[in-house]
Structure 1
Amino acid sequence: MALETVLLAVGPDDDDRVETLADTVRDVAGPAGATVVLGHVFTDEEFADYTDRMDFDEGGDPDSIARRHRNVKRFRDLFDGSGLDLEVRSAVGPHGEAIVELAEEVGADMVFVGGRKRRPTGKAVFGSTAQTVLLEAPCPVTFVRSG
């Protein structure tokens, strides 16, 4: 399988795993020369909150708002100088479903999602977003956990 496009799902709760995710994606995408798409999803409520706080008109462009998100900026900084082509894409909707849609839209060959370590009783179940992406994505998914 030729790896041309990688989607990295960037979440608001990824603060503690940004470097681990970036390293993992760089290790896979770098040798293949793949384009890395930083995909950030806003729920309807999150999007309305961001547009209000940033003084965007109603119907602001989700991609331009995502470029300003702190974790997207952190990933862009970490990939700076890596030689990888980066794109920022965004969607508004339920996180898991929207990530799957983004993967389809960009023609992703692989998706990376982050998550946290679960307690022993919860190890059999991923978080709902990761689980949706793992089960419904049109391509292989790599789950990168922190903790």
Structure 2
Amino acid sequence: MEETDHPQYCGIGIRGVAIGIDSFVWIALLFVAIFITAAFTGQLETGSPGLNAELSGAPASMALGLWFVLALGYHTVFEWRFGKTIGKALVNIRVTSEDGSSLTFTSSLIRNAMRFVDWLPALYLIGIVGIAVSGQRKRLGDRVAGTAVVGS
């Protein structure tokens, strides 16, 4: 990146496209969580149409919790190791530390754990407002972790 003194901070639109793409990964991870939980609890059924898992109660809660861990892990590991998730890579943006260096594991974990707060009350409302009012277009997770989303 030639403009190291003045990075191009990414706004709501391009970040929304990236998270929209990443939502397909989330859906895949949801199926993984459901089928792992169903296999673990003995509720995985096989038949001519394929695999089936109907979870309720505690097993459904376990699957939801596993899904949250997998989704958090996806974002944390990909941004820590590569600076971007699949969605960010496809729209050519990346996450850096405020000084432009690569993320540490801790900063990536903090940034992504805050995603649960940025999501509130629904559809990333806190995150969107944070980006809109920030000069560096940072959501709450970026502010707490000392990170920024910039063009690649």
Q: Same fold, TM exceeding 0.5? A: no
TM-score (structure 2 length as normaliser): 0.28
Larger Rg computed on CA atoms: 2
Q: Which has the higher strand share?
A: 1
Q: Which has the higher helix share?
A: 2
TM-score (structure 1 length as normaliser): 0.28
